Amino acid sequence: MEPCVTVADAFTPHTFVDAFSFIHDNASFLFQKTGEHLELSFAALGIALLLALPLGLWLGHRHRGLFLAVSVSSLGRALPSVVLIAFGLTILGVGFWNNTAALVVLAVPPILTNAYFAIDGVDPDVVEAARGMGLSERQILLQIELPLGLPLMIAGIRIAAIFVIATATIAAIAGGGGLGEVIVNQASYGLAGVVGASLCVSALALLAALLLSLTLRALTRRPGPVP
C-alpha cells in the first residue's frame, strides 16, 4: 500500500516561490477573481451594515435589547458557514445571492453586538449632561454617543469585514465565484495556485483592516489649535 500524501507533505521550501510565480503569471485572471471576491464580500457587508448598524445604535441608545445582542452574537459564532450556504441552496439556489445571504448572516452579529455595546457603554453622566443642555435624543445619539462609541463600532465592522472576506472563499462550492474557485480546485491550479490565491485573500483581509483603522483614525482625529 502506498502512503497517503497530504497537502502538508506537498509543501516544500519552493512552495511560496511557486505561489508568487503563479500570481505573476496569472495576474489578469487573479485580478478578475479578486473583483468577484470583492463584489460578493462588499455586497454582504453592505447589506449587513444596513440591517445591523441602525438596530444596534437604536437598541444601545435605548439601553434595551441586551439579550438580543448577546443571542445574535452567540448564534453567529455557532452557525457554520458551510451549513448556511447549504441551507441557502434549498431556498435561493446556486449563485451570487445564496452566498451573499449566508455571508450577511455571518456579518450581522459582530456589527450588531459592537454597535449596541459602543452606544450602551457611553458614560451616563455625559448623556445626562447633554439632556440637561437641551439636546434632543437624536442629537445625543449622533453628536455625543456615536463619536464616543465609534472605536468599538468600527472594531465590529472590521471583524465582520475580515470574517466575510475570509469566509467568501468557500462560496465557490455553491457557484459564488471569486478566489475560492482557485483555492478549492487544486487539481486544476496546483498547490502553487491554491497558495497564491490564499495569499491574495489574506492581502485583501489585511487591506480591509488597514483601511478601517485609517478611517477610524481620520474620524477621531482632533483638530489642532487654531493660531
Position 190 in a domain: yes
Residue 105 has a pLDDT of 83
Residues of the chain with pLDDT under 70: 1-11, 13, 73-95, 174-176, 222-227
Q: Please give the Cα distance from 193 to 188 (Å, whole number).
A: 9
Q: Which domain CATH number covers 212?
A: 1.10.3720.10
Q: How is 59-89 classified by DSSP, letter by letter?
A: HHHHT--HHHHHHHHHHHHHS-HHHHHHHHH
User: What cell was used for 183?
Assistant: 483555492
Q: Please give the Cα distance from 206 to 117 (Å, whole number).
A: 25
Residue 91 has a pLDDT of 61
Q: Please give the Cα distance from 175 to 28 (Å, whole number).
A: 21
Q: State how far Cα 59 lies from the chain centre.
A: 22
Position 213 in a domain: yes
Residue 202 has a pLDDT of 92
CA neighbor of 124 nearest in space, from 144, 105, 108 = 144
Q: Please give the Cα distance from 42 to 44 (Å, whole number).
A: 5
Q: State how far Cα 60 lies from the chain centre.
A: 21
Cα 19–Cα 26–Cα 160 angle in degrees, nearest 5: 70
Which residue segment(s) compose the domain that 47 sits in? 27-219
Q: Please give the Cα distance from 139 to 70 (Å, whole number).
A: 27
CA neighbor of 107 nearest in space, from 67, 86, 76 = 76
Secondary structure of residue 34 in the 3-state scheme: helix
Write the CB contacts of 33 (distance below 8 Å, at least 6 apart in sequence): 177, 178, 179, 181, 182, 197, 200
Q: What backbone torsions phi and psi does residue 225 show, to the nearest 5 degrees?
A: -65, 140
Residue 222 has a pLDDT of 54
CB–CB of 30/179 below 8 Å?
yes
Residue 207 has a pLDDT of 94
Position 38 in a domain: yes
What's the pTM value of the predicted model, to 2 decimals? 0.82
How many domains does the chain divide into?
1
Position 19 in a domain: no
Residue 71 has a pLDDT of 76
Residue 190 has a pLDDT of 86
Position 7 in a domain: no
Position 8 in a domain: no
Position 202 in a domain: yes
Position 13 in a domain: no
